[in-house]
Amino acid sequence: MIQSTSSSSPTLAATRADADKAKLKSAAQAFEAVFLRQMIGSMRSASLGDGMLDNEATSQFQDMADSKTADAMSQKGVLHLADLLVKQLGPIAAKGDGATPTPAEAAAQAETAANVTKLNKPKPDVTSLEVPEADVSALPVKADVTSLTAHKALITRLAGAGR
């Protein structure tokens, strides 16, 4: 008996979706491993001093050990960074394959889009705002500087003439 292609199409799409999710998870774990390598390397470079036995060979073996440690940590999901990447990029990857997101995914995407538009509100034009006039009547009165300098000059002249 010949099966129709429409009944095998959903299983093919499901298989492709599972393969894409596995690729995405693998890429996310690789990204987490690279991130952890960078973080561990930064921690190593922040040491306070050199050890007595530190040399190029020791540094090379520490780098290899740090790389293995980062790989193991990413496989265990210590930071859960890969899980977050899969959660965020999963709907985008599924949409790229022509698959439609579930209603819950569509609602989450709409909520995220609404939050993004809230953050990107245009700034108000402050050049058109009117500034009220300040009440300067309550400010203390400053001394008349011109009359003080004139008096100082007069006193200086009189003091010079009296000698």
Q: What are the tens digits of pLDDT across the range 3-33?
A: 444 444 567 767 887 888 889 999 999 999 9
d(CA 8, CA 79): 39
Question: Which pair of structure tokens corresponds to residue 12?
Answer: 């093919």
d(CA 121, CA 110): 17
* Single pTM value for the model: 0.49
Question: Which pair of structure tokens corresponds to residue 51?
Answer: 């050890």
Q: How would residue 67 be classed by pLDDT, with cut points 50, 70 and 90?
A: very high
Cα–Cα distance list, 42 to 30, 38, 90 (Å): 18, 6, 30
How does the average pLDDT of the chain come out, rounded?
76
Residue 73 has pLDDT above 80, yes or no: yes
Q: What are the tens digits of pLDDT across the range 81-118?
A: 999 999 998 888 777 655 566 777 778 777 777 665 55
82 class by beta-carbon count within 10 Å (0-12 exposed, 13-18 middle, 19+ buried): buried
